[in-house]
Amino acid sequence: MTKTIRLTMAQALARFLTRQMTEIEGRRMPLFAGVWAIFGHGNVAGLGEALYGVRKDLPTYRAHNEQAMAHTAIAYAKAMRRRRMMACTSSIGPGATNMVTAAAVAHVDRLPVLILPGDVFANRLPDPVLQQAENFGDGTASVNDCFRPVSRYFDRITRPEQVIPALNRAMAVLTDPAECGPVTLALCQDVQAEAFDYPESFFEERLWVPRRVRPDERELEQAVAALRAAKKPAIIAGGGVLFSEASATLSGFAARHGIPVSETQGGKSSLPFLDPLNMGAVGVTGTSAANAVCAEADVILAVGTRLQDFTTGSWALFKNPGKTIIGLNTQVFDATKHRALPLIADARVGLEELSANLGSWKAPEAWTHKARDGFKAWMKEADAWTAATNATPSDAQVIGAVQRALGRDISVLCASGGLPGELHKLWQASYPSSYHLEYGYSCMGYEIAGGIGMKMAQPERDVIVMVGDGSYLMMNSEIATSVMLGIKIIVVVLDNRGFGCITRLQKATGGARFNNLLADAQHETLPDTDFAMHARSMGAIAEKAGSVGELETALKKAKGNDRTTVLVIDTDPMISTEAGGHWWDVAVPEVSERQEVRAARKAYEEARKMQKVGD
């Protein structure tokens, strides 16, 4: 006879989460590091009571914004290379829809997060309840249906026993290298409180470790043959290298076979900055060295990357007409893009087997030397852009100040605007996962909340969050959360008085300066926000630096501070690093009264000729 235990659905869910385990470096530990919760009427009575019961095994953290708390959970999972994760719960209405943006971040970036929004009453007796958005033509719909397109798996729990198959499916998705992404279980609020006799076996401890898929023999043969025939091979390292913990393998592979490596935003820090075959960033925000290699390459081994437009220069970067792309990826969808030869495998295992089959084969020495010389030349350019020369510094000069003051043995986090491009080109990462950019969904507001998640995953490291004033103003409330939880981060706010990055893009496409910088937006009085005072009001240590030199001094001091520190500096919105980079497809209007737009359209049409149609 099956042994059972009577629990509410919410209690069963909470207990189940405490029994999921992982193993990291031989140490067994809980897979779920905690739950982020903002309680409301749709989850406080059911799931809130259940989480209280397991609080010693599954910590619950309180945040100030639902989207932000989900960003924190996502950043934690990324910094942990998907080996550990968190859950997030909210009430049924705006709390739930606040998390939809974060779910999209996790979906695009292939990161695990378990989203547990409250939902309407399954029995419908009190309908419409507070915060319920009724659909005139669908009685089964709720706002949680917004999660469907941005969840890898979605389920609505309308009976207490349904949580058994739903959680089993959720775990399979959250821990699968190919399917990994957000899972949403919408929890009807009456069902959270309903009891069921759950089998004790449902709560048995279960260990989840990464599945390392080995390549198909035929696909491996094709990839090896393509590489053996290559005269100018190149590697593009994506985030899958980090998720697979394949950095050392990649470094050894590149050295053994003499192949230069370029890094995507997600893959940056796969190799140390000083690795002799690391060409740095690739694509629109790439180094001249990496882009020169990829432009000439006859074989491109794309490892763990989804090849988005910033990586491929809107599919205009790879100029060799006879090129072959090899897609080494766990996900078929990514591995087969643009007629690539698929090599469906775990990044580490795939590289190991490729190397074993290539044997002593090496790329021509002249190609390898040319790539290294190109990177040396790039570094001279980069050093000039990061040097402190302007009274009002550029983003690049602030990046240089941070690196000079704190060295390379730190972690940096950013998300959107102009800073990601500058960091991608210029930041000198020293160890895997020390560079953390949310640039798949490029979500403003991710930065400070994400910094908390990164620090929770890397408590031994100094975590530096770099954020523009525009993104800071969108979501800064988690500074208070970091102080409350004793999670110290260092936040550098670059104040260029608006959205400088988009102003530059607007200008580049022929547009007039309009509605991006504060001065160019409709206003009666120009804002002059005292960001340091604002941060101090939330409990942080804060000061404004009057120069790059003052910022370097403040950064060194911040290392010794006992809590979150916010440092502010004014920057020039119109300067970006002109060295490196590549064309990016941003459509320019065909018709305009402005001569500048017409000229930009003509240049755009010429540039589009570089794109490879059907390639």
> pLDDT of 171-221, one tens digit each?
999 999 999 999 999 999 999 999 999 999 999 999 999 999 999 999 999
Assigned domain for 57 exists: yes
Residues 109 and 236 in one domain: no
Under DSSP, is residue 458 helix (H, G, I), strand (E, B) or coil?
A: coil
Which band of pLDDT confidence, cut at 50, 70 and 90, is reported for residue 408? confident
pLDDT of 612: 78
- CA 184 – CA 99 distance, rounded (Å): 10
Report the pLDDT averaged over residues 385-401.
93
pLDDT at residue 390, as a whole number: 78
Cβ distance 386 to 400 under 8 Å?
A: yes
Q: Is 597 within a domain?
A: no
**Rounded average pLDDT over 277-297:** 98
Return mean pLDDT, the chain.
Answer: 97
pLDDT value, residue 389: 84
DSSP state of 231: S
Query: How many domains does one find in the chain?
Result: 3
Query: Which residues, 6 or more positions from 166, have their beta carbon under 8 angstroms from its beta carbon?
Result: 155, 157, 185
Q: Is residue 551 a part of any domain in this protein?
A: yes
Query: In terms of Cα–Cα distance, which of 169, 166, 149, 150 is closest to 158?
Result: 166
CATH number, residue 486: 3.40.50.970
Q: What is the pTM of this model?
A: 0.97
Q: What is the mean pLDDT of residues 315-323?
A: 96
Q: Please, which pLDDT band fits residue 1 given cuts at 50, 70 and 90?
A: confident
Rounded CA-CA distance 124/533 in Å is 49
Domain identity same for 161 and 97: yes
Q: In what order do the strands lie in the sheet with 27-30?
A: 27-30, 20-24, 206-207
Q: Give the pLDDT score at 614.
A: 62
**What is d(CA 287, CA 376) in angstroms, rounded to the nearest whole number?**
11
Looking at 342, 377, 412, which one is the last position of a domain? 377
Provide the residue range defining the domain that includes 533: 387-570
Nearest Cα to 364, choosing from 495, 229, 469?
229
In a domain, 140, yes or no: yes
Reported as type and span, the H/E element at residue 351 is helix 347-358
pLDDT tens digits, one per residue of 341-374: 999 999 999 999 999 999 999 999 999 999 999 9
3-state secondary structure of 237: strand
Considering the domain architecture, whether residues 139 and 255 belong to the same structural domain is answered as no
Beta strands in 42-112 (DSSP E): 60-62, 85-90
- Which of 81, 154, 66 minimizes the C-alpha distance to 114? 154
Residues 6+ apart with CB under 8 A from 409: 430, 431, 461
556 and 421, same domain (yes or no): yes
Tens digits of per-residue pLDDT, 566-602?
A: 999 999 999 999 999 999 999 999 999 999 999 999 9
Percent of the chain with pLDDT over 90: 98
The DSSP output letter for 114 is E
Strand-pair category, 541-545 with 565-570: parallel
Dump pLDDT digits (tens) for 375-390.
Answer: 999 999 999 999 988 7
Same domain, 33 and 123: yes
Kind and range of the H or E run holding 597: helix 595-607
Distance CA 332, CA 319 (A): 25
**CATH code for the domain in which residue 234 is found:** 3.40.50.1220
Asked whether the predicted pLDDT for residue 256 surpasses 90, the reply is yes
How far apart (Å, rounded) are the C-alpha atoms in residues 340 and 306? 12
- Find residue 493's DSSP bridge partners: 467, 568
Same-domain pairing of 500 and 363: no
Mean pLDDT of 5-12: 98
pLDDT digits (tens, 9 = 90+) for 143-181: 999 999 999 999 999 999 999 999 999 999 999 999 999
Q: How far apart are CA 452 and CA 203, in angstroms?
A: 31
Domain check: are 254 and 188 in the same one? no
pLDDT digits (tens, 9 = 90+) for 45-87: 999 999 999 999 999 999 999 999 999 999 999 999 999 999 9
Is the domain of 198 the same as that of 277? no
Neighbour tally for 449: CB within 10 Å: 33
